Amino acid sequence: MAVQVKTSQALSALNLTPLIDVVFLLLVFFLVASRLSEEDRKLDVVLPSAGSAQPMTAEPREIIVSVDQQGKFFLDAKVVTERELKNILERAVADNPVRQSVIIRGDRRAPFQFVVTVMDLCNQAGVSNYSVTTAEGS
């Protein structure tokens, strides 16, 4: 037995008034928004230029500090002293006070005190986002 649905009743129950209101509001919104963007471009403003300007949206480069078996600190494959590492970290925090991160890679044969020294230098420089990496164990 087939069920018969009367299409006239289904369409009469559908109210289009809220849909028309939403479409009208969207139309008004986009007309006003496009008008404001045109006005900003019409202003005769000559922008200054700077040769050393850098974009403010640049992502901070995370610093990777490696500690070898003898307790030497490496940054970008160069040996650095504690004082140099602290200065580098302080400059990095001055450039990026909130989001600067440091990754500490300590040799497992090195005494843990050297890794703690790097962590302490991070704290002194104001780096709160540092982590110690490990290898996946088996």
Q: List phi, psi (to 5°) of 108.
A: -70, -20
- Sequential pLDDT tens for the chain (138 residues): 677 766 665 556 678 788 899 999 999 998 887 776 665 556 566 666 666 655 554 566 789 899 988 889 998 889 999 999 999 999 988 888 778 899 999 888 888 899 999 999 999 998 888 988 877 654
Instruction: Please check whether residues 37 and 75 belong to one and the same domain.
Output: no
53 occurs within a structural domain: no
Whether residue 58 is contained in a domain is answered as no
Buried (b) or exposed (e) across 123-132, using 16+ Cβ within 10 A?
eebebeebee
- Residue type at position 110: A
CATH number at residue 88: 3.30.420.270
Structure tokens that stand for 81 in this block:
């002293």
Domain count, the chain: 2
Q: Residue 123 and residue 117: Cα distance in Å, rounded?
A: 10
Q: Are residues 24 and 82 in the same domain?
A: no
Residues 36 and 81 in one domain: no
pTM over 0.75: no
Domain, as residue range, for 96: 63-132
- In Å, what is the CA distance from 57 to each residue of 60, 91, 95, 96, 99? 9, 18, 12, 11, 12
- Residue 100 to residue 123: CA distance in whole angstroms: 12
